[in-house]
């Protein structure tokens, strides 16, 4: 079991409030991603759950038991660090088996479990090497092996892929997701990369300035963002925001339209007129950065190739049922 | 052409480096040579370099007149003891400052270093009087104590910089892996800190071995280490160059051997952990 519940969790360092009251319910076996800009408190929240930081207020329940006074070693969680944090003086075998050794397991049982974990992660040939003799991807695997071998209640991942190159990151992303599904262990994963969040999560927690802005499935966040921050943070390229007359027509202070929900017409007159300032042709997609005059810069996405060039006049029409409306304080207006 | 120039440069700088090295080493070599001369040859003008009457009589006289082994033993006890106590105090101090620093940690470190900037002679009289009152003059424990205090700032600083290099994440990983503070210390921290501990220990041993100000002023015979042993050969009746040289050679020999075998660690130690 690995059900984790946060009740009004707070953390401050001196006068600075890092976490301003977080409530969260993470069900057993789910993959939850904390995402947000740097300094939003996502890593702090993870460290509070791990027990590496003490809460300033509130409760953290693991399987119904309040653990705020339990040291990290006794919480039954395992963690994968951004820096891998492997023990440099131990072999891969020693690294993976360290937690089991601390738990007082018999030697052959440790060996059996370490070898099984190593096999899952394709680390068998490297068991007797030291961390410094491994590549970045292999070190990351060892760190993951160290986490899974203990069969914890939950895995905590602190930006584990950010030190890898782009290609390896995509591959490891898949592996981590697959492994988590296969083991069925609860996972909390911290990242600032919203693509990682969207692709890996069952549920995403969007954090901003120490507060949970929204908690929901990736598509919920994409389709029904609670506020301007979530709307702007989830989705790539970013949602376009328009204020003024066009927003008022919709009964809102700000309206938001995703680039992929703008219909592009060459020289048309029906929608929002503008001039292309940059056109990115990827083959599969075309991204247009349009100077919309009083509307500001707008981004539009077309699936497939659209032969338009900088300087061309276009008009952009938002799909009517894809317009997000926000009030003066930035909260979504739901019909 | 360019290639030849670089070869030439290499040859010139190699010869230059050897010359400089020889120049620096020369006084020690001269001392060793003088220790095998007779007293007359030792200050003969012009001096004879290698072609003199080689003799070991100085060594025999020195051992006979002032028991070398007794002083060597004192040196070992004083240097070893002060190093050991300094480490016992410095490890927890550096540990807590490196891993749970407070607002004042920097100030404390600087304050400790500042005590090394004070000339020791400035406190000679008060210390001497305190030692006299407590009967610590010419006692091993007294010398252990003063050398330990003298070197403590440096030991703490060195260990602090070494501990600082150990990534926090690794300690936290051990905590997540279920290690208690004690086991974290034994299985993770100590093995990672061993190179730092070793070079700190080594440097401190050498500093304590060579320390002459306090040892000369606070000891005479019973607790006197090798520094006092050497100094006893520059007496009011005149200098005995050959005997002084053989005493000095005997005094520096152990530390020279130790330094030779631990050069690598020492260089690390002297760079205060800056170079990995």
For residue A150, give the chain B residue with the closest CA: B177
- Crossing angle of the two packed helices B190-210 and B140-165, in degrees rounded to 10: 140
Are the CB atoms for B198 and B268 separated by under 8 Å? no
Q: What's the pLDDT band for B67 if we cut at 50, 70, 90?
A: confident
Question: Does the beta-carbon distance from B172 to A83 stay under 8 Å?
Answer: no
- Which of B174, B179, B192 has the CB atom closest to A88's CB atom? B192
Identify whether residues B97 and B142 lie together within a single domain: yes
Identify whether residues B25 and B121 lie together within a single domain: no
Q: What is the pLDDT of residues B184-232, one digit of tens each?
A: 888 888 888 888 888 888 889 988 998 888 888 888 888 888 888 888 8
Identify whether residues B93 and B146 lie together within a single domain: yes
Q: What is the full DSSP assignment across B27-95?
A: HHHHHHHHTTS-HHHHT-SSPPSS-S----HHHHHHHHHS-HHHHHHHHHHHHHHHHHHHHHHHHHHHH
At residue B1, the pLDDT reads 52
- Give how far Cα B1 sits from Cα of B8, B14, B161, Å: 11, 20, 47
The count of residues in chain B is 276
CA of A243, closest CA in chain B: separation in Å? 46
For residue B171, give the chain A residue with the closest CA: A85
Half-sphere exposure of A95 (CA within 13 A, CB side): 34
DSSP, res B123: G
Interface test with A, best of B165, B172, B173 (most A CBs within 10 A): B173
Helix (H, G, I), strand (E, B) or coil at A157: strand
- Which of B176, B183, B192 has the CB atom closest to A78's CB atom? B176
Residue B115 forms part of a structural domain: yes
CA distance B73 to B186: 32
The predicted model scores a pTM of: 0.76
Which ranges of chain A have pLDDT less than 70?
Answer: 335
- Report domain extents, chain A: 4-231, 239-326
Which is the CATH superfamily of the domain at A4-231?
A: P-loop containing nucleotide triphosphate hydrolases (3.40.50.300)
A-B Cβ pairs (cutoff 8 Å, strict) = 60
Q: Where are the beta strands (DSSP E) in chain A?
A: 4-13, 16-26, 31-35, 57-62, 65-66, 77-80, 154-158, 186-191, 203-208, 211-216, 240-243, 254-257, 262-266, 272-281, 285-291, 297-303, 313-318, 324-326
Q: What's the pLDDT band for B266 if we cut at 50, 70, 90?
A: low
Chain B hits for A72, CB-CB cut-off 8 Å, are 172, 175-176
Identify whether residues B95 and B200 lie together within a single domain: yes
Identify whether residues B216 and B107 lie together within a single domain: yes
At residue A155, the pLDDT reads 95
Phi-psi domain of A296 (left: phi exceeds 0; alpha: psi -120 through 50; beta: other): left
Q: What's the pLDDT band for B269 if we cut at 50, 70, 90?
A: low
Chain A hits for B187, CB-CB cut-off 8 Å, are 98
Question: Does the beta-carbon distance from A77 to B183 stay under 8 Å?
Answer: no
- Which of B170, B178, B183 has the CB atom closest to A85's CB atom? B170
The whole domain housing B150 covers 62-270
Identify whether residues B96 and B38 lie together within a single domain: no
Interface predicted TM-score of the whole assembly (ipTM), two decimals: 0.83
Chain A hits for B174, CB-CB cut-off 8 Å, are 87, 98
Residue B50 forms part of a structural domain: yes
Question: Does the beta-carbon distance from B170 to A103 stay under 8 Å?
Answer: no
CA distance A4 to A196: 22
Chain B hits for A82, CB-CB cut-off 8 Å, are 169
Count of domains for chain B: 2
Identify whether residues B68 and B192 lie together within a single domain: yes
For residue B169, give the chain A residue with the closest CA: A85
Q: Does the N-terminal peptide bond of residue B46 adopt cis geometry, omega within 30 degrees of 0?
A: yes
Chain A hits for B179, CB-CB cut-off 8 Å, are 73, 98, 102
For residue B193, give the chain A residue with the closest CA: A89
Identify whether residues B204 and B178 lie together within a single domain: yes
Nearest alpha carbon to residue A127 among A158, A154, A90: A90
Are the CB atoms for A201 and A33 separated by under 8 Å? yes
Class of domain A239-326: mainly beta
CA of B175, closest CA in chain A: separation in Å? 5
At residue A108, the pLDDT reads 94
Q: What is the pLDDT of residues B92-107, one digit of tens each?
A: 898 889 888 888 999 9
At residue B268, the pLDDT reads 61
**pLDDT exceeding 70 applies to what percent of chain B?**
92
Residue B143 forms part of a structural domain: yes
Are the CB atoms for B205 and B262 separated by under 8 Å? no
Identify whether residues B108 and B6 lie together within a single domain: no
CATH number at residue B101: 1.10.3720.10
Residue B275 forms part of a structural domain: no
- Is the CB of A114 inside 8 Å of chain B's CB atoms? no
Are the CB atoms for A187 and A31 separated by under 8 Å? yes
Residue B51 forms part of a structural domain: yes
């Amino acid at each position: 079991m690995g059900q984790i519940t946060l009740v009004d969790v707070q953390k401050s360092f001196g006068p600075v409030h890092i976490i301003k009251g977080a409530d969260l319910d993470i069900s057993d076996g789910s993959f939850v991603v904390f995402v947000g800009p740097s300094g939003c408190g996502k890593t702090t929240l993870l460290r509070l759950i791990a027990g590496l930081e003490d809460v300033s207020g509130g409760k953290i329940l693991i399987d119904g038991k309040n653990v705020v006074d339990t040291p990290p070693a006794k919480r039954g969680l395992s963690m994968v660090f951004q820096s891998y944090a492997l023990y440099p003086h131990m072999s891969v075998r020693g690294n993976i088996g360290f937690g089991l050794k601390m738990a007082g397991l018999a030697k052959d049982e440790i060996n059996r479990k370490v070898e099984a974990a190593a096999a899952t992660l394709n680390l068998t040939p490297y068991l007797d090497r030291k961390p410094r003799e491994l590549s970045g991807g292999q070190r990351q695997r060892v760190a993951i092996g160290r986490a899974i071998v203990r069969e914890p209640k939950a895995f905590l991942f602190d930006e584990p892929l950010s030190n890898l190159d782009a290609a390896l990151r995509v591959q490891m992303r898949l592996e981590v997701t697959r492994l988590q599904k296969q083991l069925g262990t609860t996972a909390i994963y911290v990242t600032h990369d919203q693509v990682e969040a969207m692709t890996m999560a069952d549920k995403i927690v969007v954090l901003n300035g120490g507060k949970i802005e929204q908690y929901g499935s990736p598509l919920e966040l994409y389709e029904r963002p609670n506020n301007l921050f979530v709307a702007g943070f989830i989705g790539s390229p970013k949602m376009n925001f328009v204020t003024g007359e066009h927003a008022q027509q919709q009964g809102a202070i700000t309206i938001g339209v995703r680039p992929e929900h703008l219909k592009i017409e060459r020289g048309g007159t029906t929608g929002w007129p503008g001039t292309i300032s940059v056109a990115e042709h990827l083959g599969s997609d075309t991204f247009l950065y349009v100077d919309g005059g009083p509307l500001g810069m707008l981004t539009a996405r077309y699936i497939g190739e659209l032969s338009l060039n900088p300087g061309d006049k276009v008009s952009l029409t938002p799909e009517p049922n894809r317009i997000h409306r926000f009030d003066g304080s930035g909260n979504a207006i739901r019909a | 052409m360019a290639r030849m120039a670089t070869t030439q440069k290499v040859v010139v700088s190699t010869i230059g480096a050897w010359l400089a090295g020889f120049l620096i080493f020369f006084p020690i070599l001269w001392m060793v040579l003088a220790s095998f001369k007779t007293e007359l040859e030792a200050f003969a003008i012009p001096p004879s370099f290698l072609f003199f009457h080689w003799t070991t009589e100085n060594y025999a006289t020195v051992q006979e007149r002032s028991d070398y082994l007794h002083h060597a033993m004192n040196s070992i006890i004083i240097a070893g003891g002060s190093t050991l106590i300094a480490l016992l105090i410095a490890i927890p101090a550096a540990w807590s400052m490196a891993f749970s620093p407070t607002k004042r940690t920097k100030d404390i470190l600087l304050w400790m270093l500042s005590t090394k900037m004070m000339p020791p002679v400035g406190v000679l009289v008060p210390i001497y009087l305190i030692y006299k009152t407590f009967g610590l003059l010419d006692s091993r424990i007294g010398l252990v104590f003063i050398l330990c205090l003298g070197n403590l700032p440096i030991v703490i600083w060195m260990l602090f910089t070494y501990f600082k290099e150990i990534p926090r994440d690794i300690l936290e990983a051990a905590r997540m892996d279920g290690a208690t503070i004690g086991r974290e210390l034994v299985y993770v921290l100590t093995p990672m800190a061993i190179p730092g501990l070793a070079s700190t220990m080594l440097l401190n041993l050498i500093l304590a071995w060579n320390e002459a100000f306090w040892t000369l002023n606070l000891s005479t015979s019973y607790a006197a280490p090798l520094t006092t042993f050497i100094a006893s050969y520059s007496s009011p009746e005149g200098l005995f160059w050959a005997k002084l040289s053989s005493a000095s050679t005997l005094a520096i020999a152990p530390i020279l051997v130790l330094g030779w075998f631990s050069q690598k660690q020492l260089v690390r130690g002297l760079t205060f952990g800056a170079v990995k």
